[in-house]
Amino acid sequence: MEKKFFDHIIHGGDYNPDQWINTPEIWDEDMRLMKLAHVNSATVAIFAWSLIEPEEGVYNFEWLDTMMDKLHANGISVILATPSGARPPWLAQKYPEVLRVEESGIRNEFGVRHNHCLTSPVYREKVRNINRILAERYKSHPALKMWHISNEYCGECHCELCQQAFRDWCKEYYHNSLDELNEKWWNGFWAHRMTDWSQINSPKFRGESHVSAMKLCWNRFVSESHISFYENEIAPLREITPDIPITTNFMKLYDGIDYQKFAKKLDLVSWDNYPAWDKGRNTDEALETAFVHDAFRSMKDGQPFFMMESTPSLVNWHDVNKLPKPGMQELSSIQAVAHGADSVQYFQWRKSRGGHEKYHGAVVDHCGHENTRVFRDVARLGKNLEKLDDVVGKYTDAKVAVIYDWENGWAVKHFCGFNNVNRSYSDECMKWYKPFLKKGIAVDVIPMDADFTKYDLVIAPFLYMLKDGTIERIEEYVKNGGHFAATYLSGLVDTDDRCYLGGFPAGRLKDVFGIWHEDTDSLPEGMKNKATFNGKEYDVVHVCDIIHSNGAKVLGEYKQDFYAGMPAVTENAFGNGKAYYAAFRNDDNFAADFCDMLIKAANVSPDAPINADNGVLIRKRGNCIFVMNFADEEKAVVLDKEYTDLISGNAVSGKVTLPVCGYMVIE
Ligand code: GLA
Ligand code: ZN
């Protein structure tokens, strides 16, 4: 499949000419440098509100008009931002309700950014207004190619307006019935039964912090508030510029917003990618970054996404900001493209002279010229990206999916019990993703309500909460021949965070998996059990379910403690398919061997028949195969036949050695 927003890979990024308003000669120099760097797109005006509207109702667009024209004249397209990510001081001063109230109940003063109330009618109105004016002004400008809405939506507000909105949300969610809310929140416990909607407040440390179902509702409410804030923002844009695609930049696996839901409202998903390279774990960092790319790619059924930001060198917000080695940024960018990005964009084009981010990497450094390592690297990459038109718009067809579900992530975070320390949901999901990527098998990363039927194999790590309908969908999938694997603590609570009665995993899943989960043991850090599987022994850490087989074939057993000899790994034939259960938290060794078995059982094969060494990742997109060396030493790959390397233009075959950070895109 294919979906193209542009004909070429977009190369560019955040450009803030508003910071250089008093030195317009720099603007002209920027145009020269952008062309030298093979930049074809600039994301403009993200934080420019105080320049665009210096006083309420007074607008200043001269500079932006000039900039749009200049960029266009130089063949650079514009991704135009709406300015709601940071408001001007006058706005906060005149309308304090736009400022966010923290959990403490104290209203923030003006400062930093991303700190608006999500509910404030005044702020929503002001944002709609400025967006309408922007859209009217630039609707016919030939440079305008995409809208960048706000910036990295995040956080939550606890003001009175938001409290009331939360109460209204609960009222609607629970069908106007406090009885239902009391039942779902299990308010009979600790004398919490409510008698009036006004008794609901946002979760906070000094108030209600122990009702997990309520915290889950708050997550849903906050997430939906961001989405409705966004919908308010885009209303005038959709009306005035219906043909201009809309995106907003997401932040990795940020859990304050259900990105899987939000993505449905975007034309194109984009995200800001800042891996911590060169800290001694590049291969793992690459695998984890790949997981995130695939999560974003999967949000719109495999449609290409944008890498809206990345750093061309270092960041300024790690504890210690190590310079990535030469070539690392290029390899990192190529990885994004391999996984479905149709853009490589930077924060930011030119380093700020002052302010908080003046030491954050940028394409043009304070020296102001092109004779830097970073600039040369960016320019070389820009030139190479021009050779990759063949992949633009191309989807990847995955036969394997790992479920990583935002709402389940919330539920996992909130419950109190078992192992309260070691239970990172994202780590667990990544662990089950990595073995496939290492073998060159593409994986979709999907929510639990996605369509399973297109996959040969679905893995559900730590599927603790089940949204409505999930049991039936798993059952149907396996019955019809699917392979489905789950891990420990799966199927414990329903969508309202109440435990299933009648034994775990929930309801009919006991038949699908052929097991009954009676108990759960938790192991403090450093304490281990052992489990067998396929004649080998593996470490058992953190959490282990004590399960009984109700017909499932036992593939492995615990070795120690009072549950020694009880099943630890099971396989159950159900209908035409099979369901597997790995009952304990384990490590990469077990995940690799268990996934090997699943790959064979589900008959999944690598996307490209290329043998590679550890540290080399292979990914197919369209007809192109990306071969990327993330190891700290040179690595060899063996090609099955002759290919053309799109970057060098040369024919390649047989054994090829990739230097550190080396890559090929072969067709
Ligand atoms: C985020 C923001 C940018 C910038 C970068 C710095 O991604 O969107 O404005 O602050 O971080 O890494
Ligand atoms: Zn608020």
| pLDDT tens-digit readout, 620-660 | 999 999 999 999 999 999 999 999 999 999 999 999 999 99
Task: Assign residue 267 a region (left: φ > 0; alpha: ψ between -120 and 50; beta: otherwise).
Answer: alpha
Domain stops at, among 552, 582, 602: 602
Helix (H) and strand (E) counts in the chain: 17, 30
Measured by CA distance, the residue closest to atom 5 of ligand 1 is: 347
The number of domains in the chain is: 4
**Ligand approaching nearest to the C-alpha of 318:** 1
Q: Let me know whether 196 and 297 are in one domain.
A: no
Domain stops at, among 566, 584, 602: 602
588: in domain: yes
- Ligand 1 centre to CA of 347 (Å) is 6
**Ligand approaching nearest to the C-alpha of 47:** 1
> What does the DSSP assignment read for 512-532?
HHTEEEEEEEE--TT--EEEE
Q: Please state, in angstroms and rounded to a whole number, the distance separating the CA atoms of residues 328 and 26.
A: 29
Measured by CA distance, the residue closest to atom 7 of ligand 1 is: 272
pLDDT at position 270 is: 98
Q: Given the CA of residue 315, which atom of ligand 1 is nearest to it?
A: 12
Q: What domain range includes position 428?
A: 400-602
54: in domain: yes
Q: Let me know whether 232 and 118 are in one domain.
A: yes
Mean pLDDT of the chain: 97
Q: Let me know whether 624 and 483 are in one domain.
A: no
Structure confidence by residue, pLDDT tens digits, 578-595: 999 999 999 899 999 999
Q: Let me know whether 324 and 433 are in one domain.
A: no
5: in domain: no
Measured by CA distance, the residue closest to atom 3 of ligand 1 is: 347
Both tokens assigned to 119? 């509910």
Q: For residues 649, 651, 654 and 658, what is the CA-based torsion angle, rounded to 10 degrees?
A: -10
112: in domain: yes
Measured by CA distance, the residue closest to atom 12 of ligand 1 is: 315
Pocket of ligand 1 (CB under 6 A): 151-152, 272, 274, 309, 315, 347, 357, 360
- Ligand 2 centre to CA of 227 (Å) is 15
556: in domain: yes
Q: Please state, in angstroms and rounded to a whole number, the distance separating the CA atoms of residues 581 and 512.
A: 10
From 315, 347, 348, the mutation candidate for ligand 1 (largest count of ligand atoms within 8 A of CB) is 347
4: in domain: no
From 47, 84, 152, 332, the mutation candidate for ligand 1 (largest count of ligand atoms within 8 A of CB) is 152
Q: Is the pLDDT of residue 611 over 90?
A: no
Structure confidence by residue, pLDDT tens digits, 138-155: 999 999 999 999 999 999
pLDDT at position 613 is: 78
3: in domain: no
202: in domain: yes
Q: Please state, in angstroms and rounded to a whole number, the distance separating the CA atoms of residues 268 and 247.
A: 5
Q: Let me know whether 316 and 246 are in one domain.
A: yes
> What does the DSSP assignment read for 302-345?
T--EEEEE--SS--S-SSS-PPPPTTHHHHHHHHHHHTTEEEEE
- Ligand 2 centre to CA of 153 (Å) is 14
pLDDT at position 662 is: 97
Q: Let me know whether 387 and 445 are in one domain.
A: no
Strand-pairing partners, residue 516, are 548
CATH code for the domain of 618: 2.60.40.1180
Strand-pairing partners, residue 306, are 270
Q: Let me know whether 25 and 41 are in one domain.
A: yes
The three-point CA angle 381-387-393 to 5° equals 100
User: Edge-to-edge strand order for the sheet containing 635-638?
Assistant: 611-612, 635-638, 655-658
Q: Is the pLDDT of residue 88 over 90?
A: yes
Q: Let me know whether 204 and 230 are in one domain.
A: no
Q: Let me know whether 152 and 167 are in one domain.
A: no
pLDDT at position 640 is: 94
Q: Let me know whether 494 and 562 are in one domain.
A: yes
CATH code for the domain of 223: 3.20.20.80
Is 0.75 topped by the overall pTM? yes
Q: Given the CA of residue 272, which atom of ligand 1 is nearest to it?
A: 7
- Ligand 2 centre to CA of 222 (Å) is 10
**Ligand approaching nearest to the C-alpha of 221:** 2
Q: Let me know whether 630 and 597 are in one domain.
A: no
Q: Is the pLDDT of residue 609 over 90?
A: no
- Cβ-based neighbours of 440, under 8 Å, separated by 6 or more: 606, 607, 608, 610, 612, 617, 618, 619, 620
- The rounded radius of gyration (Å) of the Cα atoms in the chain is 26
Q: Let me know whether 480 and 375 are in one domain.
A: no
CATH code for the domain of 436: 3.40.50.880
Q: Given the CA of residue 251, which atom of ligand 1 is nearest to it?
A: 7
pLDDT at position 387 is: 98
Both tokens assigned to 211? 């009702």
**Ligand approaching nearest to the C-alpha of 347:** 1
- Ligand 2 centre to CA of 229 (Å) is 12
- Ligand 2 centre to CA of 166 (Å) is 10
Active site residues: 152, 309
Structure confidence by residue, pLDDT tens digits, 282-336: 999 999 999 999 999 999 999 999 999 999 999 999 999 999 999 999 999 999 9
Q: Residue 579 corresponds to which amino acid? A: A
From 16, 46, 309, the mutation candidate for ligand 1 (largest count of ligand atoms within 8 A of CB) is 309
Domain stops at, among 151, 177, 212: 212
Q: Given the CA of residue 249, which atom of ligand 1 is nearest to it?
A: 8
